[in-house]
Copies of this chain bind each other. A is one copy, B any other.
């Protein structure tokens, strides 16, 4: 399936199966749905793994979608602002990854140290711990990050 085909110069492309309200979300804040934003969103949709800016850039290059790496960064910034994308800064990766929010709740990740596979962890075990920490430190806890690393089933 050729991605280029799917991109029209105007409006929403059905082949890409983008959430229909995404262009409206963009325009509601004075922004525009461009072909590059469509291409990035479509890539995020069909990629289950969180992807880095460079991976988005490389993948779109392969698919003959003309886009600059700077534009990828700026696109991710916008999508983050609109709450459509989550930015992950996994430990010791030294780069950011992004995943479509798509109604995902607060969750954490585990990454395989060998192949890099990243899997969502649907549980968050820290609700009670947070209260305990607030008591012990007198901080007001706003947020937390939690990641696990290990070996995935394939790499063991």
A: which residues have CB within 8 A of B?
89, 91-92, 110, 112-113, 119, 121, 123, 125-126, 129-130, 132-134, 136-153, 156
Q: Which one, B123, B129, B143, B144, contacts A132 given CB within 8 A?
A: B123
Given the complex, which residues of B lie within 8 Å of A113, measured CB to CB?
142
Q: Which residue of B lies closest to A146 (CB)?
A: B146
Q: Nearest 3 A-B pairs (CB), nearest first?
A: A141-B150, A139-B150, A138-B153
Known: A141-B149, A145-B145. 4 other contacts (CB 8 A): A113-B142, A125-B125, A126-B146, A142-B149
Given the complex, which residues of B lie within 8 Å of A129, measured CB to CB?
123, 125
Known: A139-B110, A139-B112. A147 touches B148 (CB 8 A): no
Given the complex, which residues of B lie within 8 Å of A143, measured CB to CB?
148-150
Given the complex, which residues of B lie within 8 Å of A144, measured CB to CB?
146-149
